[in-house]
């Protein structure tokens, strides 16, 4: 097997090199290939990126933070202090072999991801420009928050289905719980879901900060996010808290410290100082204006009626259709899903509109590929079958294989269909308390029949436009045949 | 640039009750050779490093080391303690002791020498030879040939 390793120690004189030697010898003994980067005082020669790419697993034997660890993103990783590698190199090699067999860490699939802290991934490409990195930071936060939205939101939706909307006023399950009572179970689900929802903003802020400043930034991020909730600064407050925490940590990292202190910086000093700074700023400086902003936004959304509401639905629909699960789509989705925490009628309408608008792109394309087979390649027609299911499940990514092959015709069609559906859903006053689930949560939706109608109309609009645009001058043979169906399966 | 180790920096019959004493005896040799300018300051730096995590390693090795402003040039002092000195290794006392003195901000070529010593310490033959070597000049010569 091929391994790469990084060794480092506080003084950078002895253990770094001993560990490197021990690992190399252990690999030589077992007939494996091993390349070690010694991050010590004799200067370190960075490993060739190709060697890293070829490696089956990565070993960190380090007492101080590994420099540029994002280079090892997504690789199976074994890590320990530097001394362990000196005495137990062979053992670590076995662990690395096991890690390689177990495959890459969870979340490591993100292509530009950076594994840190045992495989937590970020979606940040460190070489990119500021705008791209900012997007990466925000998307990292969103990607970690979505499971919370799903768990909390679906539990709450289920509790309404079981217990009716009065479940909101049910007594605390700690005070009263009856194993045989459906109402008690509904109340339990509602309250568990509510607790999961309470984490939305702190987790969002925490992982935005994490994407920027790695593990030490998690604490100021989560704490700052929680303060944002406390001061009623909401989702926007959380975004700001996360970015602020990340920036503070990056700033502290710039301060040169003696090597002897470097070891405790990420564990003690950075979390302590950054949390204090972020806490002060969030409570007394940024908190009040952000709270006023959040209150204004909520009032504005609640005050929207008639035409304005429809326009909001159309805009969100355009966003949902634009990049099919990309940043714009996720921005609209986050806006809706995180808004659910407010539990206002307006937030439920927005959620319904966004979900409907996210379903029509794959559905519309699936319909088009059935109606006019000759306009689509064989591969696209196969994708069309999957697209029915993906669209119905509110997995907008199902449209990607079609859009990738012919973006200029497909994307405008998707946006138009989604805009129509988003606007109609708002106009019909459909509401959704569930953040996800597509067709499967329709029974939980307010005005379900009109909701299905809105989705149907958007689907037809998209299909009609795609067929019309493709009919102009295009034969399926020109199309990119090789877009694999698996891309469609990229879940949100 | 002078050699990192010479015969006068080798003590093949080191007798020390504890690691502080062992470090001090070897440091005195560095002072005598003009390689360490302030023994108390240097030993304080050594103790500071030692307090972060003991430098004893499995296989009878102790490597007290530091970067210090009181070091004039990168230097090694080698002590062989047949009775052993505890350097906090899990498997018992150390009989091969290297005091490694690195100047603050030493240049890379010197540091490479120290790095290659560290690498040699992992090799069984290197340790065997150090345990069997008969006189200080031979030991210094052997270490120099291995690390440069």
- Say if the ipTM goes beyond 0.90: no
CA distance linking residue A5 with residue B130, whole number of Å = 29
Per-residue pLDDT, averaged over B2-31, amounts to 91
pLDDT digit string, tens, across residues A138-148: 778 877 877 78
Examine the residue annotation and report whether A430 is marked as an active-site residue of this protein. Answer: no
Backbone angles phi, psi at A125, to 5 degrees: -100, 110
CA distance linking residue A189 with residue A173, whole number of Å = 10
Q: Can you give the three-state secondary structure of A120-162, one letter per residue?
A: ECCCCCCCCCHHHHHHHHHHHHHHHHHHHHHHHHHHHHHHHHH
What is the pLDDT, as a whole number, of residue B10? 93
Tokens of A173: 């399950």
Judgement on whether residues A93 and A37 belong to the same structural domain of the protein: yes
Judgement on whether residues A331 and A404 belong to the same structural domain of the protein: yes
Kindly state whether residue A315 falls inside one of the protein's structural domains. yes
CA dihedral A62, A63, A69, A73 (to 10 degrees): 60
Q: Answer yes or no: are the C-beta atoms of B31 and B72 closer than 8 Å.
A: no
* CB spacing of A21 vs B122 below 8 angstroms: yes
Last residue of a domain, one of A282, A300, A318: A300
Judgement on whether residues A227 and A314 belong to the same structural domain of the protein: no
Q: Answer yes or no: are the C-beta atoms of A124 and A114 closer than 8 Å.
A: yes
Judgement on whether residues A361 and A270 belong to the same structural domain of the protein: no
Tokens of A277: 């700074």
CATH number, position A60: 3.40.50.2300
What is the pLDDT, as a whole number, of residue A368? 94
Listed residue (B64, B65, B77, B71) closest to B103, CA to CA: B71
What is the pLDDT, as a whole number, of residue A182? 85
Least CB–CB distance from B57: residue in A40, A86, A260: A86
Which of A39, A42, A64, A83 would you mutate first to test chain B, the one with the most B CBs within 10 A? A42
Kindly state whether residue A361 falls inside one of the protein's structural domains. yes
What is the pLDDT, as a whole number, of residue A209? 94
* CB spacing of A87 vs B57 below 8 angstroms: yes
Angle at A409 between CA A404 and CA A410, to 5 degrees: 55
Spell out which chain B residues touch chain A, with contact meaning CB-CB distance below 8 angstroms. Answer: 48-49, 52-53, 55, 57-58, 63, 65-67, 90, 100, 102, 106, 108, 111-112, 114-123
Judgement on whether residues A461 and A344 belong to the same structural domain of the protein: yes
Least CB–CB distance from B67: residue in A13, A22, A38: A13
Measured CA to CA in angstroms, residue A396 lies from A25, A391, A438, A451, B77 at distances of: 51, 6, 10, 17, 68
B chain contacts of residue A15, beta-carbon cutoff 8 Å: 118
Least CB–CB distance from B118: residue in A10, A17, A43: A17
Backbone angles phi, psi at A61, to 5 degrees: -115, 90
Q: Using CB atoms within 10 A of its CB, is residue A45 exposed (0-12), middle (13-18) or buried (19+)?
A: exposed
Q: Could you please report the per-residue DSSP string of chain B?
A: ---S--GGGEETT---SSHHHHHHHHHHHHHHTTSBS-HHHHHHHHHHHHHHS--EETTTEE--EEEETTBSS-EEEEEEEEEEE----TT--EEEEEEEEEETT--HHHHHHHHHHHHHTT-HHHHHHHHH--SHHHHHHHHHHHH-
Q: Residue A385: which H helix or E strand, with range?
A: helix A378-392
* CB spacing of A86 vs B108 below 8 angstroms: no
Tokens of A57: 């697993």
Maximum alpha-carbon separation in chain A = 75
Judgement on whether residues A225 and A196 belong to the same structural domain of the protein: yes
Give the pLDDT band (50/70/90) at residue B136.
very high
A chain contacts of residue B55, beta-carbon cutoff 8 Å: 14
Last residue of a domain, one of A300, A326, A354: A300
Strand partners, A58: A4, A77
What is the pLDDT, as a whole number, of residue A428? 93
The pLDDT profile of chain A, 492 residues, written as one tens digit per residue, is 889 999 988 777 788 888 898 899 889 888 889 999 988 766 677 888 888 888 889 999 988 778 788 788 878 888 888 888 888 888 888 888 888 887 665 443 333 333 333 456 666 655 566 777 787 787 788 778 777 877 887 787 778 778 776 777 788 888 888 888 888 888 998 899 889 888 888 998 999 999 888 888 999 999 999 999 888 887 778 889 999 999 999 999 888 877 777 777 878 888 999 999 999 999 999 988 888 887 787 777 777 767 788 999 999 999 999 888 666 787 788 888 878 877 788 889 999 999 999 999 999 999 999 999 888 887 788 888 888 988 888 888 788 778 877 888 899 999 999 999 999 999 999 999 888 878 878 888 889 999 999 999 999 999 999 999 988 755 544 444 433 433 333 333
Judgement on whether residues A362 and A251 belong to the same structural domain of the protein: no
Tokens of A467: 């067929």
Domain count of the fold of chain A: 3
* CB spacing of B52 vs A10 below 8 angstroms: yes
Tokens of A64: 């101080």
pLDDT digit string, tens, across residues B38-58: 999 999 989 988 888 888 888
Q: Answer yes or no: are the C-beta atoms of A235 and A294 closer than 8 Å.
A: yes
**Sheet of A77-80, strand order:** A33-38, A2-8, A57-62, A77-80
Judgement on whether residues A91 and A202 belong to the same structural domain of the protein: no
CATH superfamily for B7-147 is Mannitol-specific EII; Chain A (3.40.930.10)
Measured CA to CA in angstroms, residue A13 lies from A259, B34, B39, B53, B119 at distances of: 12, 21, 20, 14, 11
CA distance linking residue A72 with residue A108, whole number of Å = 10
Which of B65, B115, B125 would you mutate first to test chain A, the one with the most A CBs within 10 A? B115
B chain contacts of residue A63, beta-carbon cutoff 8 Å: 53
pLDDT digit string, tens, across residues B73-118: 888 999 999 888 998 888 889 999 999 888 887 666 667 777 888 8
Spatial CB neighbours of A237, under 8 Å, sequence gap ≥ 6: A201, A225, A228, A229, A231, A282, A286, A287, A290, A291, A294
Q: Scanning the structure block, which residue is given the tokens 């690691």?
A: B19
Strand partners, B101: B66, B75
Judgement on whether residues A95 and A180 belong to the same structural domain of the protein: no
Kindly state whether residue A85 falls inside one of the protein's structural domains. yes
- Range A385-422 burial, b when 16+ CB lie within 10 A, else e: ebbbbbbbbbbbbbbbbbbebbeebbbbbbbbbbbbbb
Judgement on whether residues A346 and A229 belong to the same structural domain of the protein: no
Owning domain of residue A61:
2-102
Q: Answer yes or no: are the C-beta atoms of A114 and A52 closer than 8 Å.
A: no
Judgement on whether residues A322 and A274 belong to the same structural domain of the protein: no
Judgement on whether residues A147 and A293 belong to the same structural domain of the protein: yes
Spatial CB neighbours of A251, under 8 Å, sequence gap ≥ 6: none
Name the 3-class secondary structure at A70: helix
Kindly state whether residue A111 falls inside one of the protein's structural domains. no
């Amino acid at each position: 097997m091929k391994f790469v390793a990084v060794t480092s120690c506080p003084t950078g004189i002895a253990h770094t090199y001993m560990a490197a030697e021990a690992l190399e010898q252990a690999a030589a003994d077992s007939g494996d290939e091993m390349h070690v980067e010694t991050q010590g005082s004799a200067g370190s020669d960075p490993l060739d990126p190709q060697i890293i790419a070829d490696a089956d697993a990565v070993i960190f034997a380090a007492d101080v933070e590994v420099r540029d660890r994002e280079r090892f993103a997504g690789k199976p990783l074994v890590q320990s202090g530097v001394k362990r590698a000196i005495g137990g190199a062979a053992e670590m090699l076995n662990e690395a072999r096991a890690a390689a067999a177990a495959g890459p860490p969870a979340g490591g699939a993100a292509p530009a991801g950076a594994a840190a802290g045992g495989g937590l991934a970020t979606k940040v490409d460190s070489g990119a420009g500021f705008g791209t990195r900012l997007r990466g930071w925000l998307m990292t936060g969103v990607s970690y928050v979505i499971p919370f939205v799903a768990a909390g939101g679906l539990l709450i939706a289920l509790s309404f289905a079981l217990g009716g909307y009065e479940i909101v006023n049910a007594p605390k399950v700690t005070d009263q719980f009856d194993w045989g009572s459906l109402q008690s179970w509904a109340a339990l689900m509602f309250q568990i879901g509510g607790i999961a929802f309470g984490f939305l903003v702190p987790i969002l802020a925490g992982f935005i900060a994490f994407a920027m400043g790695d593990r030490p930034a998690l604490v100021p991020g989560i704490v700052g996010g929680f303060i944002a909730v406390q001061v009623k600064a909401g989702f926007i407050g959380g975004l700001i808290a996360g970015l602020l925490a990340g920036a503070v940590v990056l700033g502290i990292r710039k301060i040169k410290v003696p090597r002897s202190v470097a070891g405790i910086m990420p564990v003690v000093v950075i979390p302590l100082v950054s949390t204090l700074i972020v806490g002060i700023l969030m409570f007394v400086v940024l908190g009040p204006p952000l709270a006023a902003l959040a209150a204004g936004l909520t009032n504005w959304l609640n005050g929207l009626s008639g035409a304005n509401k429809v326009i909001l639905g159309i805009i969100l629909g355009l966003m949902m259709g634009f990049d099919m699960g990309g940043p714009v789509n996720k921005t609209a989705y986050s806006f809706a899903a995180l808004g659910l925490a407010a539990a206002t009628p307006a937030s439920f309408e927005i959620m319904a509109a966004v979900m409907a608008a996210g379903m029509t792109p794959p559905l519309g394309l699936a319909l088009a590929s059935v109606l006019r087979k000759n306009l689509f390649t064989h591969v696209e027609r196969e994708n069309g079958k999957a697209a029915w299911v993906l669209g119905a499940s509110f997995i907008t990514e199902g449209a990607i294989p079609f859009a990738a092959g012919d973006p200029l015709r497909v994307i405008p069609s998707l946006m138009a269909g989604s805009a129509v559906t988003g606007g109609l859903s708002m106009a019909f006053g459909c509401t959704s308390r569930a953040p996800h689930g597509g067709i499967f949560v329709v029974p939980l939706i307010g005005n379900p029949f009109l909701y299905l109608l809105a989705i149907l109309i958007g689907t037809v609009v998209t299909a009609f436009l795609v067929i019309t645009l493709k009919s102009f001058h295009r034969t399926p043979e020109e199309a990119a045949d090789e877009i694999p169906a698996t891309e469609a399966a990229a879940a949100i | 640039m002078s050699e990192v180790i010479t015969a006068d920096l080798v003590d093949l019959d080191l007798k020390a009750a504890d690691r502080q004493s062992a470090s001090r005896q070897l440091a005195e040799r560095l002072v005598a050779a003009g390689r360490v300018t302030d023994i108390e300051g240097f030993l304080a730096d050594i103790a500071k490093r030692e307090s972060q995590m003991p430098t004893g390693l499995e296989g009878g090795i102790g490597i007290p080391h530091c970067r210090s402003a009181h070091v004039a040039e990168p230097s090694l002092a080698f002590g062989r303690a047949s009775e052993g000195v505890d350097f906090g290794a899990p498997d018992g006392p150390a009989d091969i002791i290297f005091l490694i003195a690195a100047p603050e901000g030493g240049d890379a070529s010197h540091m490479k020498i120290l790095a290659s010593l560290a690498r040699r310490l992992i090799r069984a033959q290197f340790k065997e030879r150090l345990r069997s070597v008969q006189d200080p000049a031979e030991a210094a010569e052997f270490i120099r040939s291995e690390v440069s």
